[in-house]
Amino acid sequence: MNDNKKYRDLPALDKARLVAAWLEDKQAGNIVIMDVSTMSSVTDMTVVVSARGVKHAKALAQNILERAAEDNIEFLRMEGHLAGEWVLLDMNDVLVHIFLDELRSFYNLEGMWAEAPRVGLAG
């Protein structure tokens, strides 16, 4: 790669779908991609998934970190990894929420973003 870009230039939708595919490979449950670009000043796409347990949630998050590094995709920070009940990964224009089922229902991000268009996993 000959240009001076630090990260791969990938549209938010493509990045969200790529991350969703990584999560699907690791058996994340109930993957939902929402386009919040017209409703949020923080991000363009939100990906919400369920993990079978704390270890699974941590493994899903770790996989995203490793794959993002391999593919030169921007990653800003991760929160909640130690507890593993709700892990938030900030990939700048894509936010990824990995939940245990009971917390996913409690926080109901899909309900909060009910107006946001859902996007299919494949393009």
Domain boundaries, the chain: 12-119
Mean pLDDT, all residues of the chain:
92
* Per-residue pLDDT tens digits for 18-48: 999 999 999 999 999 999 999 998 999 999 9
- Tokens matching residue 102: 């009971």
The residues, ordered by sequence, that sit 6+ positions from 65 with a Cβ below 8 Å of its Cβ are: 75, 78, 89
Edge to edge, the sheet with strand 86-90 lists 77-79, 86-90, 94-100, 45-51, 29-35, 118-119
- Mean pLDDT over 46-72 rounds to 96
Asked if 47 and 98 count as a contact pair (C-beta separation under 8 A), the reply is no
- How far apart are the C-alpha atoms of 63 and 71, rounded to whole Å? 12
Domain 12-119's class?
A: alpha beta
